[in-house]
Amino acid sequence: MKFDTPAGTNPIDRLTVVGKPTDRIDGPKKTTGTAPYAYERHDVAANPAYGYVLGAGIAKGRIASMDLAAARAAPGVLAIVTHENAGKLGKGDMNTARLLGGPAIDHYHQAIAIVVADTFEQARHAAGLIRVDYARAKGRFDLDEQLRAAPLKGDSSGEGSAAPPIERVGDFDRAFAAAPVTLDQRYTTPDHSHAMMEPHATIAAWEGDKLTVWTSNQMIAWAVGDLAKTLLIPKENIRVDSPFVGGGFGGKLFLRADVVMAALAAREAKRAVKVALQRPLIANNTTHRPATAQRIRLGCAKDGTITAIAHESGSGDLPGGGPETATSQTKLLYAGANRLTAMRLAVLDLPEGNAMRAPGEAPGMMALEMAIDEMAEKLGMDPVAFRVKNDTQVDPAKPERRFSQRRLVECLERGAREFGWDRRSATPARVRDGQWLVGLGVAAAFRNNINMKSAARVRVSGGRVTVETDMTDIGTGSYTIIAQTAAEMLGVPLSAVDVRLGDSTFPVSSGSGGQWGANSATAGVYAACAKLREAVAAKLGFNSADVTFADGQVSAGGRQVPLAQAGDLSAEDAMEYGDLAKKEQQSTFGAHFVEARVHALTGEIRVERMLAVCAAGRILNPKSARSQVIGAMTMGVGAALMEELAVDKRFGFFVNHDLASYEVPVHADIPYQQVIFLDEVDPTTSPMKAKGVGELGICGVGAAVANAIYNATGVRVRDYPITLEKHLEKLPATAMA
């Protein structure tokens, strides 16, 4: 099915199942421990062996020698794979570094060996007996130092945040110089780890030249393609199965070392092998969100009109990698005739930087939305009013191109009313509650909408419906919204729909990432269901144009037949997209409001309450959508207050590579959270009239926290995370009395 004209009225608009707050149909499996996650697939391979991956002990250089004798002689050891016996390997298109290192080492904890043994403990013990001599080389580990000579670089996050090396609209330099009120500030965000609950894990088994991997992956077709290119075997010989993913956040978009090393180990040991990357290797061996150094300049008229806006960002990655596209939202979020955005990319020998939830916008808005608040203060304007004044209904660089839907102002104004914004003190450090300084903060939320081709297969048999697609559920509720879509299209209750996901033998879907999954995957199911409706109508003797599917019945022209009488029928189709997204800018918008408290004596920061107001097209399942948004808000709190991968600039690795030292928010850190969805449909995105919402919840919330802290204390911290030692000595003197 080709989607190239805006959607009209269709069966989804009945909203008998779609749009209802629905419990997740996979909930019982997850709460009873029967959901088949990768490492616990006891049903797929009898008596698997255990693999333990050894990571490189240097960040840059070569392996001079490896002594495997003691490891080979250890109890229970079945095989050891290194670069010396792995055979010729390629590299996937979406991998920056090789997934098996040696003799050259590209980054710290790059996989250099896997030990296979009868038990996990035996494999781990033997891996500790491997003796590796390295020839260490000088590496580049300091982002600030490398950015001094880094070239301009344009690229895409792979999740819709594309940006050129430099983009100019109007004459920024002239307008900025002439502006009566200006701001020129630098902001930094550190490296972040995905820190998902489920580690990267895989069971691999060979049957002749056919390979099956049961793994934890967000994008099944991408994994098949890159695994084929890495192992140099045909795609047709690979099956990837990932029905449940225990968190990904972008860290499992791409093929990683657990899959490749398990496959190599299984081939060498001639036995199924299971591998889970230990937590330190997840931080250093897989991917992370790169650190950024951002400069934002704003020029305004005295009435608050933005006349000049520039956003420049620098980040780093391994050779061949790409930048963190932190400037992308600045091209679209606010009006302004004179604009400049630019990115620089430094070459670093740190582990690979890549997509993490809302790549580009998430760290970019941490800077931009703090700068907007700072300019509002210079102007003597309320921060909400300043944002509203500079709203635009068109692409600032292409005024002829309107937004398909843009309700940012409504999000801001609705949020201000709900949150009690009128009680905010315009003067910082004026509100106290005992020993606590209290402040309110706001930030806009923005994330572009992305449509991805997505296919599905739908069968009906005896009135029951089965949906098959390689779409994944990464904890987001894909099973449920896909079932809701099929139930709505075919007029059956949710209980009559079976959903099968995550298997590469199923039709290729959009996969999960970039907040494109819900709209795209359900649109693919819509296409397959529309085709099946035609087949059912023909089988039952109806005119498909007039037929209605409802309450398990198929009816038209006063005649009604049970769906079950259609027998066994199936249909497969994909939703493909025309150029509607080029004609109108498709984006999602929102507003974040935060109340923060800072202890006057200790500098301790607590977030007290949070509100997100979102305008993101039709909300397919408000219950799971709310879960997505509050999860994103929680990640935003982590980014604002605690998350930071600390770089050892001498040896080139992330020091705090476990969950004991890489701090993430826990329940005690997260207060009352409220989410409001505006009633919206966007017919330009798909027949579902939906857009993504999962990543919108993180875009801007870090800045809202930072702005609330400033309002509480009068101390502006521009280097994330905002930890107490960065403002403790600067707290108001009266607060220390």
Whether 274 contacts 49, CB under 8 Å: yes
Q: What's the whole-number mean pLDDT along residues 639-651?
A: 98
- Residue 380's pLDDT band, with cuts at 50, 70 and 90, is very high
Catalytic residue of the set 198, 312, 680, 695: 695
Query: CA angle, corner 120, sides to 119 and 126, nearest 5?
Result: 90
- What is the pLDDT at residue 736? 42
pLDDT number for residue 734: 58
Average of pLDDT values for 41-66? Answer: 97
Name the pairing type of β-strands 181-189 and 292-300.
antiparallel
Asked if pLDDT for residue 123 goes beyond 60, the answer is: yes
pLDDT digits (tens, 9 = 90+) for 74-91: 999 999 999 999 999 999
Region 705-719: mean pLDDT is 98
Lowest mean per-residue pLDDT among 46-50, 223-227, 541-545: 541-545
Is it the case that residue 737 has pLDDT exceeding 50?
no
d(Cα 727, Cα 706) in Å, to the nearest integer? 12
Tokens of 46: 């009898």
pLDDT mean over 490-496:
98
CA separation for the pair 69, 53 (Å, rounded): 17
Task: Give the strand pairing for 464-469 and 497-501.
Answer: parallel
Averaged over 526-550, what is the pLDDT?
A: 94
- Residue 511 to residues 136, 172, 248, 288, 474, Cα–Cα distance (Å): 40, 40, 12, 20, 10
Give the integer Cα–Cα distance in Å for 47 and 224.
25
Q: What is the torsion angle, in degrees rounded to the nearest 10, for the CA atoms of residue 601, residue 606, residue 608 and residue 613?
A: 130
Residue type, 632: A
- pLDDT mean over 425-436: 97
Domains assigned to the chain: 2-35+451-581 (3.30.365.10), 401-449+586-736 (3.30.365.10)
For the chain, the average pLDDT equals 97
Task: Give 477's Cβ-side CA count (13 Å radius).
Answer: 26
pLDDT digits (tens, 9 = 90+) for 611-640: 999 999 999 999 999 999 999 999 999 999
Record the pTM: 0.97
- Report which DSSP code applies to 330: G
Q: What percentage of the chain has pLDDT greater than the value 90?
A: 97
Would residue 121 show up in a list of annotated catalytic residues for this protein?
no
SS3 538: helix
The answer, yes or no, to whether residue 713 has pLDDT greater than 60, is yes
DSSP per-residue string spanning 220-275: HHHHHHHHHHHHT--GGGEEEE-S--S--TTTTSS--HHHHHHHHHHHHHTS-EEE
Check: CB of residue 193 under 8 Å from CB of residue 643: yes
Residue 735 has pLDDT above 50, yes or no: no
